[in-house]
Amino acid sequence: MSALAERPAARILLTDDQNRVLLFRFDAGDRPPFWATPGGAIDPGESFAGAARRELREETGLDLDCGEEVHRRTVTFTTLEDVPVIAEERYFRVHAGACTIDTGGHTELERRVMQQHRWFARGELATWPETIFPEDLTTILEQSDDQ
């Protein structure tokens, strides 16, 4: 088995004026659909905070300061491009208030596999019928409430 590719990534916990969190639904066809926070891999030479702001802008159309990191984890998975990776993910909490999500900045791949997004109330996360990543999203949100 070959070594896993390293994939440092920034993820955004984007909340609205009702304290709901934004998630995108991924449906690649080769695996069960799942929901995940906005975010993605950092570019060479980019900081995690810089990547968070860029990813937020590209995936939601919002250009907001992402502040300080509120959580980090290391996880292994296979990307949508079918590359096995070990990802160092850092999470940033951003309050957007009332806003409109603009997915016009999505890449071709994102347009194909991320065709839905919605705001989730915390109570919905534990009982949602499809997988939500990160699996401990409610705990991460609770821990970052006062940060």
- Say yes or no to pLDDT of 61 above 80: yes
- Tokens found for residue 82: 């079918």
- What is the model's pLDDT at position 131? 96
The one-letter code for the residue type at 76 is: T
- What is the model's pLDDT at position 109? 83
Q: Is the peptide bond before 8 cis (omega within 30 degrees of 0)?
A: no
Q: Please state the rounded mean pLDDT for residues 105-126.
A: 92
- Say yes or no to pLDDT of 53 above 70: yes
Taking the model in full, what pTM does it have? 0.93
- Say yes or no to pLDDT of 74 above 70: yes
DSSP state of 29: S
Band (pLDDT 50/70/90 cuts) for residue 80 is confident
- Say yes or no to pLDDT of 48 above 90: yes
Within a 13 Å sphere around the CA of 3, how many CA atoms are in the beta-carbon half?
A: 3
The residue segments making up the domain with residue 27 are 5-144
- What is the model's pLDDT at position 116? 95
CATH code for the domain of 100: 3.90.79.10
Q: How far is CA 75 from CA 17, 45, 68, 105, in A?
A: 30, 22, 21, 26
Q: Please state the rounded mean pLDDT for residues 71-84.
A: 92
- What is the model's pLDDT at position 138? 97
Mean pLDDT, the chain, integer: 94
- What is the model's pLDDT at position 1? 52
Q: Please state the rounded mean pLDDT for residues 30-48.
A: 95
Q: Please state the rounded mean pLDDT for residues 91-95.
A: 97
- What is the model's pLDDT at position 77? 93
What's the number of domains the chain is made of? 1
- What is the model's pLDDT at position 117? 97
